[in-house]
Amino acid sequence: FFPTTDGWIALGANTPRQLLRLLEVLELSELAADPTYFAEPLDAESPTTFVRSRDPAALKTIIAQRLQMLRADELEERLATRGVPAAKVRKLGEFAEAALGHGRISTVTLRDGDTEVMSPGLGFGARRHPG
């Protein structure tokens, strides 16, 4: 998880291809060939194994500094189009509002006397079995 100008973003760039694309989006491509961070330059055609950095703490610091200058919602979209696992960290209310707006979750209305509350549904249908 990394702080951004408008919240937090979670990243999952673990393969050479994903990390290369992340570095491109962050305009840090030169790091992929820097022997300070990698014994061999990162290559998009490398086997899909986890990336191993010579100095992961320093690499993470540089990435974190760049992320602090960017918006999580914009990063999420840009990284998704490049195939990099990333998600803006949302509060439950933000998630529910966005998911409802895109028709991604079903809802049920719960009633207690005069009070009505809309709640996320089960995510699947349920019905009584005759018998």
pTM of the model: 0.75
Per residue in 50-83, pLDDT (tens digit) is 899 999 999 999 999 999 999 999 999 999 999 9
107 pairs with which residues across the strands?
Answer: 120
Among the listed residues 16, 48, 55, 14, the one whose alpha carbon sits nearest the alpha carbon of residue 32: 16
Rounded to whole angstroms, the Cα distance separating 10 from 3 reads 9
Burial class (CB in 10 A: 0-12, 13-18, 19+), 45: exposed
Per residue in 39-50, pLDDT (tens digit) is 999 988 877 788
> What are the boundaries of each domain within the chain?
2-89, 90-123
For residues 100-125, give the mean pLDDT. Answer: 76
- Choosing among 3.30.300.30, 3.30.1540.10, 3.10.129.10, 3.40.50.2000, the CATH entry for 2-89 is 3.30.1540.10
Rounded to whole angstroms, the Cα distance separating 36 from 25 reads 21
